[in-house]
Amino acid sequence: MKHCDGQDGRRRGATLIFVAVCLIVLFGFSALAFDMSYLYVLRADLQVTASAAATAGATELPDTSLAESLALEYAGKNMPGGIHGTVLTSPDVLFGNWDDDSRTFTQGASPTNAIKVTTRRDTTNGNPAPLFFANIFGMRQRDITAEAVAARRARDIMIVLDYSASMNDDSELAHIGQLPQSAIEANLQQIYNELGAPKFGNMQWQPQLITGSNNTVLGALGLSGVTYPYPIGSWNEYINYVKNDSAVNSAGYRNRYGYLTLVNYWLAQRPMASETPDLWQTSEQPITAVKNAVTLFLAYIQSSNTGDQVGLAVYTHPQGGATLESGLTTNVAQIETISRQRQAGHYDHYTNIGAGLREARLELQQNARNSTVKFIVLMTDGKANRPNGNPQGLVLTEANLCANANYPVVTISLGADADAALMQQVADITRGVHFNIPGGQSVADYEQDLKDVFAAIANYRPTALVK
């Protein structure tokens, strides 16, 4: 029998060496796998932190100081300095413009609508990521960064306003009971003064009692040879109005003639621009409160400098529908000018809410930009009464078309006569929001409510992580 102990020993020795080498290689790969997993998780944390910081900062744009402060705060909350060191510093918070079409961020470009954040665990901030087992191979640390860009979304907003004749009701004697008579009469005098306090014959502000025929009244007022000042209407119509109108009678002014009842006649009977064209310059209510709220809204839009566009549609229309007063534009001063130069019942007395909504929807469909947030602001003080037949049905049809196009409608119902239920339906159908400003308030109170609502709408500024 032959003995092979020497050969077997050599084999066992070679095996041991091979196993040892394999173990070293396996340990090395395990070490690398551990460190690579650690680096992968760390980079994911840095990316989440960059995204959170950028998104938070974008909510404060275009105020870059607040945006930077918020970005740094959120970076610290996501990766606390006590554990990770400082991962975000001011030099790594950049501001500029994000262009959706080219999908590029340009530092320092206007409008300032975007923030770019770079989070770091590297030698730049003296905080590189340590390696553990890889130290065996002389690799002690790695530089890791992550970046994110968030932008305030530009908006295409269509405003739809009620310019029906009822939008001067709070300046009329007919609304005594909803507002104090003294307040309404003070407003009528304000309107008279805003018209330039015109003089006709020997009329006075405080109405004087005069009975008899129209010619008798004309003679007593010194109006027999005085031309009526506006295109449509007449002294005889005014006299008949004062003799017969129930609201005038209830206010104690039947057969009483003066500038107070004359201004009330213009508001109640001849409010259209084709009839009494100067009324847009006056403080007829509630339309002036709406105009003031729109002015505030547009000021917010302008100050944001994030590329928003605004358009304006109004109902009414010479044929009882609605009018696109301005297509979508960044020239918000133009929108304000137009809204100021329209008066209650500007084109027509009636309320065609559905037509106003249609004008807004079509403008968004035809001219809104692809990358923007799109929505409609719809305001009314009354109930839809045009077109004849089923005016509420047209409103709901348009609401469904807006919903299909993903255009939320923010609705505002103003006063006790507004159809708040219908406005709530429109908001619900389109996934919008309804604001109800109830009646029974003073002009100052509901004007402030309107301003608060429009300010809230203006401050709704969606942000998005774009890179």
Cα 379 to Cα 195: distance, rounded to the nearest angstrom: 27
Residue bearing the bigger pLDDT, 4 or 408:
408
pLDDT digits (tens, 9 = 90+) for 78-119: 999 888 889 999 999 999 999 888 899 999 998 888 999 999
Task: Please calculate the CA angle 298-302-307 and round it to the nearest 5 degrees.
Answer: 115
Q: Using pLDDT thresholds of 50, 70 and 90, give the confidence band for residue 11.
A: low
Report the alpha-carbon distance of residue 461 to residue 457 in Å, rounded. Answer: 9
Local confidence band at 140 (pLDDT 50, 70, 90 cut-offs): low
pLDDT value at 137 more than 60: no
State yes or no: pLDDT of 440 exceeds 90. no
- What is the spatial distance between Cα 464 and Cα 400, in angstroms, rounded to a whole number? 27
Instruction: pLDDT band for 21, please (50, 70, 90 cuts).
Output: low
Angle at 12 (CA atoms; ends 9, 16), nearest 5 degrees = 140
Per-residue confidence band for 153, with pLDDT thresholds at 50, 70 and 90 = confident
Contact 151, 113 (CB under 8 A): yes
Interacting residues of 113 by C-beta distance below 8 A, sequence separation 6+: 61, 62, 97, 98, 151, 152, 154, 305, 306, 307
pLDDT value of position 214: 98
Q: In what order do the strands lie in the sheet with 114-121?
A: 104-107, 93-99, 114-121, 144-152, 463-465
SS (H, E, C) the chain: CCCCHHHHHHHHHHHHHHHHHHHHHHHHHHHHHHHHHHHHHHHHHHHHHHHHHHHHHHCCCCCHHHHHHHHHHHHHHHCCHHHHCCCCCHHHEEEEEEECCCCEEEECCCCCCEEEEEEEECHHHCCCEECCHHHHHCCCEECEEEEEEEEECCEEEEEEEECCHHHHHHHCHHHECCECHHHHHHHHHHHHHHCCCCCCCCCCCCCEECCCCHHHHHHHHCCCCCCCCCCCCCHHHHHHHHHHCHHHHHCCCCCEECHHHHHHHHHHHCCCCCCCCCHHHCCCCCHHHHHHHHHHHHHHHHHHCCCCEEEEEEECCCCCCCEEEEEEECCHHHHHHHHHCCCCCCCCCCCCHHHHHHHHHHHHHHHCCCCCEEEEEEEECCCCCCCCCCHHHHHHHHHHHHHHCCCCEEEEEECCCCCHHHHHHHHHHHCCCEEEECCCCCHHHHHHHHHHHHHHHHCCCCEEECC
List the domain boundaries for the chain: 10-152, 156-167+282-465, 196-277
User: pLDDT tens digit string along 168-209?
Assistant: 999 999 999 999 999 999 999 999 999 999 999 999 999 999
Is 156-167+282-465 in CATH node 3.10.129.10? no
